[in-house]
Structure 1
Amino acid sequence: MRILFVAAPLIGHLYPMVPLAEALRAAGHDVLVASGGDAAARPPAGFPVEDVVDGPFNFGRIALGTMLSRPRLLVRELAGRAGTDAVGHIFGAVNDRLVEATTALVGRWRPDVVVHEPLCGAGAVAAARHDVPAVLHGNTLFDDALLLSVTTAKMRARVDVPASAAVLRISPDSVVPGASGQPLRPVGYGGGASLPQSLREPGTLPRILVSHSTIAGPGSTSVLDRIIRLAPSVDAEFVLLRAVDKVGGRTLPPNVRAVGWAPVPEALETASAIVHHGGAGTIFAALAASVPQLLTPGPGDRTHNGQRIADRGAGLAVPVKRIDAAALRRLIEDARLRAASTEVAAEIAAMPAPAEIASTVFAKFG
């Protein structure tokens, strides 16, 4: 079969889909990826990628332009209280930039199935226009079918999108109760980068990874500054991921080091904890590795995500300005955080692997 994967032009939206794409390719299917922006600049290893963005892509500019005309919604979004209202408007505008080229690609390449993520309604619309079955591949801590509906509703394209031929969700039941769809085990994908040798073995101190959003914008790296300031008062080793160019020539405390692009899933194998911005991909990677996490609530899904993890007991949700040494010590010392993380990791391990989904769910499209 020919299977087209379509994702919004952001690596955090594409990378969670890569393990299933790899499983389908290993099963002998012809797989093509359609995206753009950062996702096209750092494509998944071994896959051909079609750039379907109409012109230059700047997510921040699109999001800001969309929200400036809705000032009250903007205030709620910046506080992380907009739910799915703002995301529908923002990604509706993003998908308006993708839908025509994606439709043309479906018509030209003639896939048997289109697999898309919930914030890439362009994939669903393009599939519907050509009467191709569409599979919704979840990548969030929301109900993914709901996210798809609010996104397609805000697109300029007026197409009646039929129900997905299948819905795959990567969220464990205990983290997102009641989410619809066929469970699919979330498997981390690090972008094909190699793990630095220095991160392959545990250190003499507990290792805390520190990550930040791959979407540039005001405050996107503020967590790095906070950790650098607090690190001398915490008996742990701090590793700042994707941060070499962010900290420049600054003198770092002895227990802090910055590395370049490193695959988070692999780095978690020798880590005791992780501090990050609350992106879904990092959350699932930490849960699968049974590593406690500290998330910094903020715009978009970050506040919602942080609350989900805190409610499950697998981590802490602390605004950047309120992170202190005590919170960092708790992250590596609190046995309850570790126990809850281990419970969720076992739950994830019991979910069907991508290879199983490739041979069962996709069999009906052959």
Structure 2
Amino acid sequence: MRVLVVAAPLIGHVFPMVPLARALREAGHEVLFATAGDGLRVTGFEVRDVAPGFRFAPVAAWTMLRHPLLIRHELAGTARPRVVGHLFGAINDRMLDRFERTARQWRPDRIVYEPLAAAGAVVAARLGVPGILQETSLFDGPALLAATRMRGRPQMAAPAAVIRIAPASVARRGTHLPMRFVPYAGDRRLPDWLAEPPRRPRILVSRSTVPAPGPDRMMSRVAAAAEHVDADIVLIRPNVRRLPPHVRATDEAPIPAALAAGAAIVHHGGAGTTLSALQAGAPQLIVRGAGDRRHNAELVAARGAGLAVDERDITPTLLTRLVTDPVVASAAVEVSAEIAAMPPPEHLVEAIRQAG
């Protein structure tokens, strides 16, 4: 079986597709990735660039200029999936022609696509190939796919199967074809000092790889509070110039490995970081923000596995609670066990073979 995997041209959309792609390849199937931009950083697979020269920021700016009334809602994190539908519609418009040519040349038996790679559903319809929708976040995948506004509204094939990675107790909806979330962060290694088990509580602080509208003061607020928190704080890809005592920084660190070494985390609410913390059973403090960040923050807080705050509300008291609250720690461990009980990616290979 030949499986064509397509993801929007952002690393946070490509990396969640890797564990299932690996399972397919290890089962003897051929796998080809189609993406663009920094998504091309995926390694270990043949990858086709279907939007050469793609850069996210200009497309995002163009979309916002065309839809100015949505900007206020996007900044508040209340516009999803409307803004996302227009933004990723424009992105998929840029991907579609080359992706279709790639598919016609490669002749896949299945197309696996994530919710914001609607070009996968379009080409599945045009080629008459079963398409499998693999969710990559806590958001409802079919809803995101339906919201995507591509030019000319091309026909999209209904998915032959929907794979859901969100634990039901967090997403508050049932699972379709459940699949365990397996963290993947590329081939990066932890610095030796960060791989060592901490001697006292450790708090990671991570910001998005995709710039959000407006200033980002999350790290500076955590650093300012650090003096009054009995914990070691580690900033990943810092945007803070002066580091106070008890605060260290590293340019790159794979979040899953850092969490496995023992840590809580403060972050921007992106799906990959949120799910990685849930999988690790790590308490998390999510700063509400644009796009799906507020959605993710409030789902995690409602489950009790973390805290959700606005950026301005980060305080020493809140950071101390993050590493001392037994209720949050217990709920985080419960969700981790729930994820561990979900079928691993290799158990989905046969379902993909039979889809359609």
351 and 114 in structure 1: CA distance in 2 versus 1, 3 angstrom threshold: same
Counterpart of 2:195? 200
CA distance, structure 2, for counterparts of residue 308 and residue 277 of structure 1: 14
Which structure 1 residue ranges, 5 or more long, are not aligned?
none
> Within 2, Cα distance between the matches of 1:162 and 1:195?
42
3-state DSSP of counterpart to 1:348: helix
Alignment correspondent of 1:241: 236
Alignment of 1:296-307 (within 5 A): 296-307=287-298
Q: Sort the Cα spacing of 1:22 and 1:307 in 2 relative to 1 into closer, same or farther, 3 A.
A: same
Q: CA deviation at 1:70?
A: 2.2
Measured after TM superposition, the shift of residue 123 of structure 1 is 1.2
Structure 2: distance between partners of 1:365 and 1:78? 39
Q: 2:34 touches 2:47 (CA, 8 Å); kept in 1?
A: yes
Whether 2:337 is the aligned partner of 1:342: answer no
Per the alignment, residue 19 of structure 1 pairs with 19
What is the CA distance between 1:180 and its match in structure 2?
5.1
Shift of 1:61: 2.1
User: For residue 101 of structure 1, what is the aligned residue in structure 2?
Assistant: 98
Cα distance, 1:221 vs structure 2:
4.6
Q: Residue in 2 aligned with 1:330?
A: 321
Structure 2 residue 221 is matched with structure 1 residue 226? yes
Give me the whole-angstrom Cα distance separating, in 2, the residues matched to 1:180 and 1:103: 30
Whichever residue aligns with residue 257 of structure 1, its letter is R
Is 1:121–2:118 an aligned residue pair? yes
Q: Is the 8 A contact 1:207 1:236 kept in 2?
A: yes
- Residue 346 of structure 1 deviates from its aligned partner by 0.8
Deviates more, 1:105-114 or 1:250-259: 250-259
Q: CA–CA distance in 2 between the matches of 1:363 and 1:58?
A: 34
Corresponding residue to 1:137 among 134, 137, 153: 134
**d(CA) in 2 for partners of 1:256 and 1:196?**
15
Q: Any conservation in 2 of the 1:208–1:271 contact (CA below 8 Å)?
A: no
C-alpha separation in 1, matches of 2:215 and 2:25: 35
| Counterpart secondary structure, 2:252 | coil
CA distance 1:63–1:139, shift in 2 (3 Å):
same
1:212 CA drift (Å):
0.5
Percentage identity across aligned positions? 51
Asked if residue 160 in structure 1 is aligned to residue 151 in structure 2, the reply is: no
1:47 aligns with 2:45: yes
- Counterpart CA distance in 2 for 1:176 and 1:140 is 9
Superposed CA deviations along residues 175-195 of structure 1, whole A, max 9, x for unmatched, are: 112245211100100111112
2:56 counterpart residue number: 59
SS in 2 for 1:230: helix
Aligned mates of 1:124, 1:20 — CA distance in 2: 18
Secondary structure at 1:57 match in 2: coil
Q: 2:237 & 2:175 partners in 1: Cα distance? A: 34
Q: CA deviation at 1:320?
A: 1.5
The reply to whether residue 295 of structure 1 matches residue 292 of structure 2 is: no
State the match for 2:211 in structure 1: 216
Relative distance call for 1:287 and 1:208 in structure 2 (3 A) is same
Deviation for aligned residue 1:365: 5.5
Q: CA deviation at 1:331?
A: 0.3
TM-score by length of 2: 0.96
Following the alignment from structure 1 to structure 2, what is the Cα–Cα distance between the partners of residues 326 and 277? 19
Secondary structure of the corresponding residue to residue 205 of structure 1: coil
Matched, 1:260 2:255: no
Shift of 1:27: 1.0
1:362 is aligned, of 338, 348, 352, to 352
Letter in 1 for 2:248: R
TM-score, normalised to structure 1's length? 0.93
Kindly report which structure 2 residues correspond to 1:86-97, keeping only aligned pairs within 5 A, or say none.
86-97=83-94
Q: Distance in 1 between matches of 2:232 and 2:16?
A: 28
Per-residue CA deviations over 1:59-100 (Å, capped at 9, x if unaligned) read: 222122212232222111111111311111111111111111
Give the conservation status (yes or no) of the 8 Å contact 1:288–1:348.
yes
Give, in whole Å, the separation in 2 of the partners of 1:215 and 1:159: 28
Distance 1:220 1:2, change over 3 A: farther
Change in Cα spacing, 1:163 to 1:365, as seen in structure 2 (3 Å) is closer
Any idea what SS the aligned residue of 1:210 has? Answer: strand
Residue of structure 2 equivalent to 1:6: 6
- 1:251–1:162 Cα change, 3 Å: closer
Aligned to 1:75: 72
Q: Distance in 1 between matches of 2:86 and 2:288?
A: 21
SS in 2 for 1:38: helix
What is the identity, as a one-letter code, of the residue corresponding to 1:273?
A
1:116-163 CA distances to partner (integer Å, 9 max, x unpaired)? 100110111112111111100001212111111111xx1014432221
